[in-house]
Amino acid sequence: MKLRVMLSISGLIILAFACTPKPAENTTGPGKPETSAEATFSPQMLEGEWHMITEVDGEWVLYYPCESDNAFLQIKGDSIMIGWGQDITAGKIENWSTDGDKLTLAVNDSYSVNTYPVKTGQNGYIEWWLWEDAEEPSRFIPAAQKSQYKEVRQPCKECWDDCEEE
């Protein structure tokens, strides 16, 4: 009798391990499991607000063009908002992938799906290729670091002839 009970318990233990679900293999995207390579850089690491810095006269600054605002990014969960300066694009991160230290986001803005490569830079900034024809990426810093950068506003007269600047 004891032998049957022990065999039954052993059978249940083996059955329990055999029926344990295995994690999905190499799936990516918001809310999906990460592989060890993806754990180093993921969209979750980008959550928050980011502001573009621009090099002006050899110094990295928050640059405000006279006809628009400084570019920014805002990421929360699978939602992304890109402030282009004068326009805003809101979209959903539908998929993402990693290749070494580069992350590529596939963003659906309801008109099309665009891909945006992203890399981490030194000193806490991130590099985004937001424009297809850009030779270099744009640098963005976390909102918490904005006070560490000088603001430079382009003079109004560089955009309009009838500008009244103080």
pLDDT given at position 54: 94
Provide the whole-model pTM.
Answer: 0.70
**CATH number for domain 34-157, candidates 3.40.50, 1.10.10, 1.10.620, 2.40.128:** 2.40.128
Segment 119-145, tens digit of pLDDT:
987 777 899 998 888 889 999 999 999
CA gap 140, 49 in Å, rounded: 9
pLDDT given at position 40: 63
The amino acid at residue 72 is F
pLDDT grade, residue 62 (50/70/90)?
Answer: very high
Segment 27-56, tens digit of pLDDT:
344 444 344 444 467 888 899 999 999 999
Where in the chain are the domains? 34-157
Segment 79-133, tens digit of pLDDT:
999 998 888 999 999 999 988 778 999 999 988 999 999 998 777 789 999 888 8
DSSP string covering 33-79: ---TTGGGS-GGGG-EEEEEEEEETTEEEEEE-TTSPPPEEEEETTE
Percentage of the chain lying above the pLDDT 90 cut: 45
